[in-house]
Amino acid sequence: MATSTQNPDFHLPDRPPRYFSFLLRCIETRSQIFNPFESGSNWRFSLQDSKGETVHSFLNFEALVAFLQSVLDDSQAIPKTEQGNDKNAT
């Protein structure tokens, strides 16, 4: 009986390695109303798929990270963002 140094449960998937490329935009928005209890600025984010014209917009950093996690966890299809595609997010 031959012994193998590889884990018998480990096998490479039948698909090629995945590759994703996005252009990330970080947009600062500032409030016109002074509020001493808030910083007065927020950040919005957008990702544009480098293969096409699809733009995914996010109202906060947590939504951006959740989107990226879902893309990397399941590459069957790029998930749609709740905010939709926003061509004016630049």
CA torsion sign, 50 to 51 to 55 to 59?
negative
pLDDT score, position 88 = 40
pLDDT score, position 83 = 46
Encoded amino acid at 6, one letter = Q
pLDDT score, position 87 = 42
The predicted model scores a pTM of 0.61
pLDDT score, position 90 = 41
Give the pLDDT of the chain (90 residues) as one tens digit per residue.
455 455 555 666 677 878 889 999 999 988 777 666 666 678 999 999 988 779 999 999 999 999 999 988 865 556 666 544 444 444
